[in-house]
Amino acid sequence: MRTMRIAVAGATGVVGRHVVAVAGERGHEVVPLARSVGVDLTTGAGLEQRLAGVDAVVDVTSVRTQDRAGSEAFFGGVTRSLVAAEQAAGVGHHVVLSIVGIDDVPGGYYAGKVLQERLLAEGDQPWSVLRATQFHEFAEQVLHFVRLGPVSVVPRMTSQPVAAREVAEALVDLVEAGPSGRVPDLAGPEVLPMHRLARRVSKARGLGRRVVVVPVPGKAGRGMRDGSLTPGDAGARGRTTFDEWLGA
């Protein structure tokens, strides 16, 4: 396998830092795309220079919003900027991490991911999309979504969490395989209720959070509860259980 030059958008995030590590371990050269190196992903400023000689771009960016307009503006803007710069620089492959179930669970954040996938499917830049379930780390993140003193309000949600490291391995596999379109979904080895995972994280980390589980109303809430955010086929499954991740 030849050594590749891989640019990573979102290189310091939950999955991005693992993508950087995995790519480096396999002998690839990593080019981070971030404001700290003079890149604005939403406008495209500084991108073309950073992409010189790059073989593939991995986009694992994220935004903290549940607002549909904000999510679509972010993911749409980043995708358009990256693709335009890639084509100008001669980059031959755009790899995106997406989320299992976004077609079936309406929500502001998911709408941005749907737009991101559509822009790639309708464009002419060679691409690959991997949909994954929530990461093990999500169980701690939900403790901070709605906080009322010592109480964390956590949505009732059926999840199949996967290790972020294994998601990163799958993304680097895609880079090495070349443009593949949408590949089978990746999920963890177990289907688990998110509020119970949040309680276990709070106890293990000594966070002292009291978890109160609340069903989200409407179609989005039903989708969160009925397993729509878990894969409906026998696709790829991660190896690391939640207990193993928490123990580590």
Tokens of 99: 């989320």
Instruction: Give tens-digit pLDDT for 15-73.
Output: 999 999 999 999 999 999 998 889 999 999 999 899 999 999 999 999 988 899 999 99
Contact call for residues 46 and 88 (beta carbons, < 8 A) = no
pLDDT of res. 106 = 87
Total domain count, the chain: 1
How many Cα atoms are found within 13 Å in the side-chain-facing hemisphere of 226?
12
Torsions phi, psi for 58 (to 5 deg) = -110, 120
Q: What is the DSSP string of 64-81?
A: S---HHHHHHHHHHHHHH
CATH value at residue 40: 3.40.50.720
Residue 89, pLDDT above cutoff 90: yes
pLDDT of res. 239 = 96
Q: How far apart are CA 161 and CA 177, in angstroms?
A: 25
Instruction: Give tens-digit pLDDT for 95-139.
Output: 999 999 999 998 899 999 999 999 999 999 999 999 999 999 999
Q: Note the Cα 209 to chain centre separation in Å.
A: 26
Q: Note the Cα 131 to chain centre separation in Å.
A: 8
Q: What is the DSSP string of 96-132?
A: EEEETTTTTS--HHHHHHHHHHHHHHHSSS-EEEEEE
Q: How far apart are CA 176 and CA 53, in angstroms?
A: 16
User: Between β-strands 56-59 and 94-99, what pairing exists: parallel, antiparallel or unpaired?
Assistant: parallel
Domain with 69, as residue range(s), is: 5-247
Percent of the chain residues topping a pLDDT of 70: 100
Residue 227, pLDDT above cutoff 90: yes
Average pLDDT of the chain? 95
pLDDT (average), residues 214-234: 91
Residue 234, pLDDT above cutoff 80: no
Residue 1, pLDDT above cutoff 80: no
Q: Is 8 exposed, middle or buried (0-12, 13-18, 19+ CB in 10 A)?
A: buried
